[in-house]
Amino acid sequence: MSVLEGKELRIVGFLCNWCSYGGADTAGVGRFTQPTDLRIIRVPCSGRINPLFVMKALIGGADGVLVSGCHPRDCHYAEGNYYARRRLEVLKGLLPVLGINPSRFEYTWVSASEGQRWQHVVETFTARIHALGPAQAFAGTTGPANHNRADAMVS
Amino acid sequence: MSAETVKKFISFDALPGFLARAAEHGTVYAPRREGSAVVYRPLKPGDAPELGARPTESCKHVVFPRSETLFSFAGKADAAQPAVRRPVLTESPEPGPAVVFGALSCDARGFLAFDPVYKGSGTGGAAADTYYLRRRSRTLLVVKACKSALNTCFCNWVGGGPASAQGADVLAVEAEQGLVLDILSEQGAIFAETLPAASEGQVGAALAAVKAVEDSLPKAAELSAAPAALASLFSSAEFWKNESAHCLYCGACTYLCPTCYCFNITDESDGLSGVRLRSWDNCMSPLFTLEASGHNPRPNKADRLKNRVGHKFSYYPSLHAGRFSCCGCGRCIKSCPSSVDIRKIVLDAVKEAANV
Amino acid sequence: MSEQTGATAARPTNGAGTRNPYLPMPARVIEVITETPTIKTFRVVLEDEQLMRDFTFQPGQVGQLSMFGVGESTFVINSPPTRKEYLQFSVMRAGENTTALHSLSAGDTVGVRAPLGNCFPYDDMKGKDIVFIGGGIGMAPLRTLLLFMLDNRKDYGKIRLLYGARSPQDMAFSAELPDWLGRADLECTLTIDREAEGWQHKVGLIPNVLLEMHPDPKNCVAITCGPPIMIKFTLQALEKLNFAPEQIYTTLEKRMKCGIGICGRCNIGNKYVCIDGPVFSMAELNAMPNEL
Amino acid sequence: MSIQDELKSAIMAALPDLSCVIGWGPGPEPLRAAPLFIRGEADLEGFTAGFLSVNNPALYLPSLKGSKVGIVAKGCDARSVGQLVTETLIKREEVHVIGYPCGGVIDVDKVAAGLADACEPGEVGALREDGDDVVLDTPKGEVRLAKKDVTADKCGRCTFPNAENADVFVGIRRAPAAAEDTYADIAEFEARGTEELKAFWEKEMSRCIRCYACRNACPLCVCRDHCIAASREPHWVSQADDVPDKLFFQVIHAVHLSGRCTGCGECERACPLGIPVLKLKRALSRRVENLFGYKAGIGTETPPLLTFAIEESTIKERDW
């Protein structure tokens, strides 16, 4: 698996409960192998995805963010993904001016039955993020004064 | 500038080298232009401080950081019950020494408003702010006398002046392509010990420069009636509503103010460990006094502006020998997005109280 | 205006050797009592045995309880200084920190910064009759002084307690009420706002019951604490009963952070509730700006 | 009658039915006016509408809901009113808009650049308008600057100089400074590349003092007292003085303004540290305009992010 060559990266996935999470499940049940960089956060609907979730992840150091919901006309709540589509499409306009490579963010639609498609989406997006490499964190953090993660390891 | 103190001289040419050597002993902060603002930044060794630039912000953050860690905590397994994690506290490390080179005289005077409060005057000294005191004692203030006053300056209303030495370790006055340094403290003497004494001509030029700028200031307004006036207007809701009408209650005035010393304490945690932070807080925000029950003793911006002005010109002086908690730097006026003018409010209050 | 000139004199020392006032003392919760659906009482002992032995405070003083990672808030120490096995705090769930505190159980660790603030002038109250008037969680600070006085019973005259809550379920310290009601040296009156099945005590709002009790203001001190609306009408009732402002004490609550008069948010005019209070006489409050 | 006098008459005519009229009056120094709350004729002393009328009086409208308020409005202020009305944050019948043709407003930072070594803007003793110039009294004598060189950037790309939704319009409508907002500034900025821009924001945001003047000066930031930046749960932003936290706040502001920002520029103008925070909002406005053809504050159409289309003609579905 070429995408797993080298270090695993941190990709955050926001998946709607009804379609894409099901699709990921189908992929798992079908034993479609997938790269393991993606950390999935399940939300009720892609319409629940606040664009700030994406931004918080990216500014917080995520190497990539993937959003996936039900296909248009297929939303469990009838129209959540339509709102999501507009919000996320608009959000793409913010990334380059902030200094974040817009390729680090993508949204797509995967239904619960599309296990194979889910595999394809994850592979494609993971490969894209690996091609970009790890994201550089925003400088200007007070570091140890803020969070003593090293201390947390002491036990 | 007094006649008794030692005067040294440094030429502008020699300044970068001198400050680079000083930086070996601690962080040297100096004014720097960034965009349309002027901020105090650590000086890169070899760079010249931008002494002609008047800082937008005060230098209080050198002693009182915008946010600082009081202590960190981390869960450690209990010796008796290893499954139980108990927080272990670690105090933040001691700060290193610092020099502010080119502070404004109002900035230095600002710390004089902090000092009694942070020395624990409220508790009779029983509880002093160790974090502030250790930074304060390790920060040397080299004040650069102003060469002119802005429209918004009113240091002379509140006991200061463009070349006031109050609170400074060294007072620097531009003269003859360099700075005449008036040495005002032992630490200041150590800082300048390698420098030659100023010549009589240099000192004379510096004195003339100080006199020129002092003379250029408009006459100070009389504020002695302000504390009583403000106290008497506490219940004059209409007065405060009018004075605060255009205020947009952001925190620009408080955060730029050299004497505003209020803070918040909050925890940041990732679950297992975290820090307790002390960060600047702002009395103009409704959250400043909002209680968990939802009750807020100062729900309106009028209440909050009243407290802000009242604190500076009435409450604080009543606790600290009449000294205003205002150094007249005028930053709250200069940088107010809605042009609120604290001078006008205080003068209006004096007038209003006289009429009542 | 007084002016400070020269810097050497003005420069404060670095505070070396001064105790860090922001560092909480770790303490172990030894018991949690569920008082009402929204109030829990925590009994804690300082982890450091020496500190616990040396810990002294005055009735009415408060402490800051820390949940590390959440925050700190202020509560009165409602166990009296005469009973030193533990420090007791009663916490009403209202915000983030109190909600976190309510998740504590025996054996857990909290941080304590105490004692803070002033205390009830119990020396000045010696030889006088005392009327406690507590409403809801406002009973907590009164409990400290009440138990302190009961532990020094001979120093005080007649002691009366009027304690009210919305309903029997909202009555805190219910485990202690039988003792308080049964004591010969304490006249204890309980009241609830509205009739409830099985309730054998008074029914009625605190100020009305107080008027009914009709305490004699002569050589008497009234101490009251409770929600603002109750305080307001209780003060009116006390006035009706001819209590002078100097005879009435209450204890205030404000959003607090540092607890040592520095952070600047709990002021009423030039008084800081964290250091000049929380205990104020009505006479003192009358002289302060009206900003409760 | 001068525009000033006409405006004064219009204000006095409307005032009996209004709790106040918000305009501009004397500020703390010659280059700055202050928002003026006019409740009677006496308050009109020093009233000004023109080059110094920088503040957006629409800012105050949501907090004055429940009473009818008048505002003197530049074109951009009127757009804020329009957007507030569209979003039902204020009632149109509770606002009386008095419009006038705006010829642009001063940018004090540009004055600073123009004055160069003569003095700081804060030392200017008086400002006089003289045709296409402003003449400034400085300690080093008079300085003459071309108005266009000291006018705010937003005025140079203004397509809406007249308050089109005014109840009363005073004076003759002006031609807009630009036919179309091309967002050339944003294109140019974006062209610097993500690496450079990341460094840019790291540097700029390191100055931020978190005063939230940007938020509180924004006429559309109506939840400022309940801002999620101050929320502990969810905990979006930490209290640490860290660039990512401070930048994230700007993201919050920009995202919440997408499809709503009218480009009045008050956020950036209010920033005491001169951080160019309008850029983020303009980037999103450009995006919204390109995708949905929507300009906030003009017309009564539902803002695009509050609605949707089943088939989005401008959004290309991903086929991967």
In whole angstroms, what is the distance from residue B332 CA to residue B283 CA?
14
How much is the pLDDT for C10?
Answer: 52
- CA Rg value for chain C: 20
In whole angstroms, what is the distance from residue C73 CA to residue C95 CA?
10
Determine the distance from the C-alpha atom of residue A115 to the mean position of all C-alpha atoms in its chain, rounded to a whole number.
17
Among A60, A92, A95, select the one facing D244 at the smallest CB separation: A60
Please give the DSSP secondary-structure letter assigned to residue D48: B
Q: How confident is the model at residue D233 (pLDDT cuts 50, 70, 90)?
A: confident
Q: Taking a contact as any Cβ pair under 8 Å apart, which residues of chain B between 244 and 303 contact chain C?
A: 261-269, 271, 274, 276, 278, 281, 283, 288-293, 295, 297-298, 303
Q: Do B314 and C95 touch (CB under 8 A)?
A: no
* Both structure tokens of C85: 């096995």
How much is the pLDDT for C253?
Answer: 87
Q: How confident is the model at residue C11 (pLDDT cuts 50, 70, 90)?
A: low
Q: Is the pLDDT of residue D182 over 90?
A: yes
| CB burial of residue D293 (10 Å; 0-12, 13-18, 19+) | exposed
Q: How confident is the model at residue C4 (pLDDT cuts 50, 70, 90)?
A: very low
Q: Do B270 and A142 touch (CB under 8 A)?
A: no
Backbone angles phi, psi at C134, to 5 degrees: -120, 140
8 Å CB contact between B272 and B85: yes
Q: Which is nearest to B334 in space by CA: D263, D213, D153? A: D213
Among D139, D213, D217, select the one facing B148 at the smallest CB separation: D139
Contacts of B264 in chain D (CB under 8 A): 239
Q: Which is nearest to D63 in space by CA: D270, D233, D218? A: D218
One digit per residue, the tens of pLDDT, for chain B of length 356 reads: 777 899 999 999 999 999 999 999 899 999 999 999 999 999 998 899 999 899 999 999 999 999 999 999 998 888 888 888 888 999 988 899 999 999 999 999 999 999 999 999 999 999 999 999 999 999 999 999 999 999 999 999 999 999 999 999 999 999 999 999 999 999 999 999 999 999 999 999 999 999 999 999 999 999 999 999 999 999 999 999 999 999 999 999 999 999 999 999 999 998 778 999 999 999 999 999 999 888 999 999 999 999 999 999 999 999 999 999 999 999 999 999 999 999 999 999 999 999 87
Average pLDDT, chain D: 95
CATH (one of 3.40.50.720, 3.40.50.10490, 3.40.50.300, 2.40.30.10) for C25-116: 2.40.30.10
Q: Is the pLDDT of residue D212 over 80?
A: yes
Kindly report, residue by residue over D284-296, the tens digit of the pLDDT. 999 999 999 999 9
Q: Which is nearest to B261 in space by CA: C39, C265, D300? A: C265
* Both structure tokens of C181: 């009601």
How much is the pLDDT for A5?
Answer: 55
Q: Which is nearest to D81 in space by CA: D61, D67, D53? A: D61
- The answer as to CATH 3.40.50.720 being correct for domain C129-251 is no
8 Å CB contact between D97 and D57: no
Partnered with residue D99 across adjacent β-strands are D73, D169
Among A56, A89, A108, select the one facing D315 at the smallest CB separation: A89
In whole angstroms, what is the distance from residue C162 CA to residue B231 CA?
37
Partnered with residue D168 across adjacent β-strands are D98
8 Å CB contact between B91 and B108: no
How much is the pLDDT for A151?
Answer: 27
Among B64, B170, B185, most C C-beta atoms within 10 A, so best to mutate, is: B185
Q: Is the dihedral of CA B14, B20, B21, B26 positive or negative?
A: positive
Domains of chain A: 8-153 (3.40.50)
How much is the pLDDT for B104?
Answer: 97
d(CA B192, nearest CA chain D) in Å: 30
In whole angstroms, what is the distance from residue C290 CA to residue C287 CA?
9
Q: Do A138 and D240 touch (CB under 8 A)?
A: no
Q: Taking a contact as any Cβ pair under 8 Å apart, which residues of chain B between 312 and 341 contact chain C?
A: 314-316, 318-319, 321-324
Q: What is the ipTM of this complex?
A: 0.92
Partnered with residue A101 across adjacent β-strands are none
Please give the DSSP secondary-structure letter assigned to residue C88: E
What residues contact residue B44 under an 8 Å CB cut-off, 6+ apart? Answer: none
Q: List chain D domain ranges.
A: 1-105+156-180, 108-150, 181-320
Half-sphere exposure of A95 (CA within 13 A, CB side): 22
How much is the pLDDT for D318?
Answer: 62
Q: Looking at chain C, which subunits does it touch, using at least 3 CB pairs closer than 8 Å as the criterion?
A: B, D
Q: One fold for both C25-116 and C129-251?
A: no
Among D232, D235, D238, D239, most C C-beta atoms within 10 A, so best to mutate, is: D232
Chain B residue with CA closest to C24: the answer is B89
Residue A140 contacts B where some CB pair is shorter than 8 Å? no
How much is the pLDDT for C9?
Answer: 42
| CB burial of residue D130 (10 Å; 0-12, 13-18, 19+) | exposed
* Helix (H) / strand (E) containing B336: none
Residue A154 contacts B where some CB pair is shorter than 8 Å? yes
Kindly report, residue by residue over C192-223, the tens digit of the pLDDT. 999 999 999 999 999 999 999 999 999 999 99
Kindly report, residue by residue over D15-36, the tens digit of the pLDDT. 999 999 999 999 999 999 999 9
Which amino acid makes up residue A55? M
d(CA D244, nearest CA chain A) in Å: 6
d(CA B212, nearest CA chain C) in Å: 21
In whole angstroms, what is the distance from residue B181 CA to residue B197 CA?
9
Contacts of B88 in chain A (CB under 8 A): 154
Q: Do B67 and A142 touch (CB under 8 A)?
A: yes
Among B36, B279, B341, select the one facing D28 at the smallest CB separation: B341
8 Å CB contact between B153 and B329: yes
Q: Is A105 helix (H, G, I), strand (E, B) or coil?
A: strand
Contacts of B283 in chain C (CB under 8 A): 264-265
Q: Is B108 helix (H, G, I), strand (E, B) or coil?
A: helix
**How many beta carbons lie within 10 A of that of residue B220, not counting itself?**
15
CA angle B219, B224, B225 (to 5 degrees): 120
Q: List chain C domain ranges.
A: 25-116, 129-251
Q: Do C23 and B70 touch (CB under 8 A)?
A: yes
Q: Which residues of chain A have pLDDT under 70?
A: 1-6, 142-155
Angle between helices B342-355 and B237-244 (to 10 degrees): 160
Q: Taking a contact as any Cβ pair under 8 Å apart, which residues of chain D between 183 and 202 contact chain C?
A: none
Contacts of B255 in chain D (CB under 8 A): 209-211
Contacts of B76 in chain A (CB under 8 A): 154-155
Backbone angles phi, psi at C94, to 5 degrees: -140, -45
